[in-house]
């Protein structure tokens, strides 16, 4: 007989929650951890999550629903459109001799279903669209990922990605620009809705 535990319901925290030890607060808040772990918005891992946040905010997604790290796709719009978000940047948080070459991963993945704790056997793409987010700014002293004018955003349907001839693991910026034009933050939601209507 196997034990069945209920799925944890994660709720949004304010950041003011206190760490405790021996039943008493120790003067450290959750926001201190967030600042310590997430302030480097240029690092690959944090930039990727921040790009998801940018796209989520552009689509009007309810931020009271906590990001699901294990979902088959990154975001779902209020209209039910599933989005996979990828990010890249010319400038990294480590020493560079030159700008990074821009490539976005488009690999298929095996979806893990958190409700059953089973990983699907066949790698595939589970979203309706990809949102490619390029931190395009190339001047290190003024690089600011929170300035949305420093980003280029591209929307491509998953059908187009699956039909992409050159590679099924990554796509270069030049190839991406052959498929679509960049849009501004304020245009992203409408670009996705318009493309979804044409599918």
> Which contiguous run of DSSP H or E holds residue 20?
strand 18-21
pLDDT of 7: 67
pLDDT of 118: 76
pLDDT digits (tens, 9 = 90+) for 8-32: 778 999 999 999 999 999 999 999 9
Sequence ranges of the domains in the chain: 40-198
| Alpha helices, DSSP H, located in the chain | 30-38, 44-59, 158-162, 173-179, 185-198
pLDDT of 178: 94
Spans in the chain with pLDDT lower than 70: 1-7, 114-115
pLDDT of 109: 84
| CA distances from residue 143 to 25, 66, 148 in whole angstroms, order as listed | 38, 28, 11
pLDDT of 25: 96
- Give the integer Cα–Cα distance in Å for 187 and 190: 6
Task: State the chain's mean pLDDT as an integer.
Answer: 92
Q: Residues for the chain: how many in total?
A: 199
Q: Does domain 40-198 have CATH number 3.40.210?
A: yes
């Amino acid at each position: 007989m196997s034990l069945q535990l209920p799925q944890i319901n994660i709720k949004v925290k304010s950041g003011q929650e206190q760490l405790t030890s021996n039943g008493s607060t120790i003067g450290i808040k959750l926001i201190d951890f967030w600042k310590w772990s997430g302030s480097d918005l240029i690092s690959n891992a944090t930039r990727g999550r921040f790009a998801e946040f940018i796209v989520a905010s552009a689509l009007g997604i309810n931020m009271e629903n906590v990001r699901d790290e294990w979902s088959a796709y990154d975001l779902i719009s209020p209209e039910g459109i599933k989005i996979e978000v990828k990010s890249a940047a010319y400038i990294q948080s480590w020493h560079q001799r030159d700008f990074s070459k821009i490539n976005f991963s488009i690999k298929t993945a095996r979806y893990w279903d958190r409700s059953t704790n089973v990983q699907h056997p066949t790698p595939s793409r589970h979203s309706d669209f990809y949102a490619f987010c390029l931190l395009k700014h190339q001047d290190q002293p003024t690089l600011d990922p929170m300035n949305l004018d420093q980003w280029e955003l591209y929307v491509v349907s998953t059908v187009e990605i699956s039909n992409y001839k050159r590679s099924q693991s990554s796509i270069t910026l030049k190839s991406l620009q052959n498929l679509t034009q960049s849009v501004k933050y304020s245009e992203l939601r409408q670009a996705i809705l318009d493309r979804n209507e044409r599918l």
